[in-house]
Amino acid sequence: MTTTVQRLEMVRRLQTAMATAYAGLGAWVLIHPSSVIALCLTPKYAAMANTTTRLFARCFGAQAMTCGLLLGTSDMTPFSFTAFGVAMVPYLAWNVWFGVGPARGMVNELMLIDFVGNLFFMGGSLWCAKVLREEEGAKRK
């Protein structure tokens, strides 16, 4: 059985891992969008990429870096972890829509990694929220 201190340390580590992943992958997209486009889109769609596509990819990367920075420097509460976890729903829907849904064929199989990552962000955030809620409840007693 883990102690409260160990569980709170795990919350901190998960928060740091999620922040690092968001900021790191966002930086990659910001700095070298062409490589991400070539790696993640099927050849048919990657061939259509142009300056505007790369600009939009860079904007997405900058937003991801901002999210990672905020996640890594914020004192997260049970509510903020819950909000972050629930905020993963549209990303998971995107993965399904473009992976196996009506827009299938735009992204390649590597996007399964994105789906798994989004599940990790959702599950990890909700677990962190649960641990922090339990800790708050224990302090009140």
72 pLDDT more than 80: yes
pLDDT of res. 136: 86
140 pLDDT more than 80: no
Q: How far is CA 20 from CA 37, 47, 89, 140, in A?
A: 21, 30, 20, 33
Q: Is 21 exposed, middle or buried (0-12, 13-18, 19+ CB in 10 A)?
A: middle
pLDDT of res. 108: 93
Question: Containing domain of residue 126, as a range?
Answer: 4-140
- Structural domains of the chain, count: 1
Which of 12-26, 103-117, 119-133 shows the lowest per-residue confidence on average (mean pLDDT)?
103-117
What value does the mean pLDDT of the chain take? 94
| Banded model confidence at residue 138, pLDDT cuts 50, 70, 90 | confident
pLDDT above 90: percentage of residues in the chain: 91
Tens digit of each residue's pLDDT (9 = 90 or more) over 73-119 = 999 999 999 999 999 999 999 999 999 999 999 999 999 999 999 99
